[in-house]
Amino acid sequence: MKAKTILKKNKLLVLVALVYMGLFIVMPEKASLAIKNSVYYLIEMFEVLPVIFLLTVVIEAMIPKEWIIKHFGEKSGFLGNILSLILGSISAGPIYAAFPISKMLLTKGASVPNIVIILSSWAVIKIPMLANEVKFLGVSFMGVRWVLTVIAILVMAWLTGKLINRKELLVSITDKAKPKVGINLDYCIGCGICVKMLPEVYEMIDQKAFIRLEQVIPGNMVLIHKTVEKCPTQAISINVD
pLDDT on residue 164: 92
Quote the CA–CA distance of 119 and 116 in Å, as a whole number: 5
CB atoms within 10 A of CB 101: 23
* DSSP per-residue codes, 132-166: HHHHHH-HHHHHHHHHHHHHHHHHHHHHHHHHS-H
For residues 124 and 113, what is the distance between their CA atoms, to the nearest angstrom?
16
- Which residues in the chain come in under a pLDDT of 70? 1-10, 44-45, 47-49, 51-53, 55-57, 59-60, 171-179, 213-219, 240-241
Residues in the chain: 241
DSSP state of 218: G
Q: What DSSP assignment string belongs to 88-110? A: HHH--S-GGGHHHHHHHHHHTT-
Alpha helix segments (H runs only) across 176-236: 193-197, 221-230
Instruction: Give residue 29's pLDDT.
Output: 82
Q: Which CATH number fits domain 178-239: 3.40.630.10, 3.40.630.30, 3.30.70.20, 3.30.70.1140?
A: 3.30.70.20
pLDDT value at residue 6: 62
pTM above 0.85, yes or no: no
pLDDT given at position 62: 79
pLDDT at 122: 94
pLDDT of residue 177: 52
Q: What is the pLDDT of residues 65-116, one digit of tens each?
A: 889 989 999 999 999 999 999 999 998 778 888 888 898 898 888 999 999 9
Give residue 171's pLDDT: 65
Q: What is the pLDDT of residue 157?
A: 97
At 215 the pLDDT is 59
Amino acid at 15: L
Per-domain residue ranges of the chain: 2-58, 63-164, 178-239
Alpha-carbon torsion (89, 93, 95, 96), positive or negative:
negative
> 3-class DSSP state for residue 31?
helix
With CA atoms as reference, report the closest residue to 196 among 188, 186, 204, 187.
204
Cα→Cα distances 224→66, 81, 199, Å: 17, 31, 11
CB of 217 closer than 8 Å to CB of 178: yes
3-state secondary structure of 236: strand
Tell me, what's the pLDDT at 55? 67
Predicted confidence at residue 1, as pLDDT, reads 47
Q: Which helix (H) or strand (E) holds 82?
A: helix 77-90
Return the pLDDT at 145. 96
